[in-house]
Amino acid sequence: GDQQQQQGGEHQDGGHQDDAPAAAVGTEQGAQNHQHQGQEQHTQADPADMSSASHSPAQTTPQALPEDDVLPDRDPADVTFFSSMNHSFEGLTLQPAGIPTRPFLLACQNILPFVDRLGSTTFAPVKADIKGNIDKLEAKFGQRPAQFATLQAIVQSEIESNTTTARNSATDALLWLKRALEFIHALLSEVVGGCESLAAAAGEAYDKTLSKYHGWMVRQVFSVVMKSVPYRNEFLAALGPGEEAIVIGDMAAFTRDLGRILDAINLFYSQNGLDQS
């Protein structure tokens, strides 16, 4: 969802807290405000409407992203979800000007199947919200690929045009995509750290990241959603058929790389006063 919290209202992709657990990743604002009213600022979270894809900037055709890269050889028994990602944050090199847009969006697209491992039905709204925000950023990037070569350049253009809080802004899309990624990062960090219960890890990750952007009703919905995740052993098996230590090792590497990117985004948003939690 498109949302920006508590400076100008709790900005989130669901508009009403009594909808389904759709506000999953961090959108309290969205569906009713975006799909029915199209308003820019929101005050309550709507767990039922997190999809942002339908609100990409008008008359914009996102530039096609390249196909999968060639993966290095690896013993099939040791292949994990993380090692088989065709585009990951591991290979994303931070440039002096910022985070390269195209590789970042490709890496984010490759995270979408991961959300299914948490529960393809329960977490479907989360996945839709992440994809919606990726689509918005792709649309913006497609307008001027050379000028918008980095995420910082995209946001800076909206800072200069005073449109960071405009409806469907790329600034807001990146904000909520960042918050969704922070939830995933926190969840994986809990698992890597040895948490034996995936439900406990998910609940802790939610409390550390998204809960502060949600109203009471949405938090209650999420308390149920977080408990719907699979058992830890089933979750790890879905991420790789080999030894648990191999899956955890790849997960730890992925988490470190994602954290590096999140740190860069958070620094830029903090310096420009764009994420007032």
Q: pLDDT band for position 94 (50/70/90)? A: confident
Contact assessment for residue 50 and residue 1, using Cβ atoms and an 8 Å cutoff: yes
pTM of the model: 0.74
Chain centroid to Cα 218, Å, comes to 18
Closest to 65 in 3D by CA, of 6, 145, 164:
145
How many Å apart are CA 68 and CA 85, to the nearest integer? 9
CA distance 275 to 23: 18
Return d(Cα 180, Cα 61) in angstroms, integer: 25
Q: What is the pLDDT of residue 150?
A: 97
For the segment 124-142, what is each residue's pLDDT rounded down to a tens digit? Answer: 988 999 999 999 999 999 9
Tokens in use for 247?
């899956």
The torsion angle over the Cα atoms of residues 246, 249, 251 and 252, rounded to 10 degrees, is 170
Q: How far is CA 124 from CA 8, 30, 190, in A?
A: 28, 15, 22
Distance of CA 44 to the CA centre of its chain: 20
Query: Where is 141: in which H helix or E strand?
Result: helix 124-143
What six digits make up the tokens of 156? 């800076």
Asked if residue 95 has pLDDT above 80, the reply is yes
Q: What is the pLDDT of residues 192-243, one digit of tens each?
A: 999 999 999 999 999 999 999 988 998 888 888 899 999 999 999 999 988 9
Collapsed DSSP state (helix, strand, coil) of residue 150: strand
Angle between helices 232-239 and 112-119 (to 10 degrees): 150
Q: What are 246's two structure tokens?
A: 């191999």
The band of 99, judged by pLDDT with boundaries at 50, 70 and 90, is very high
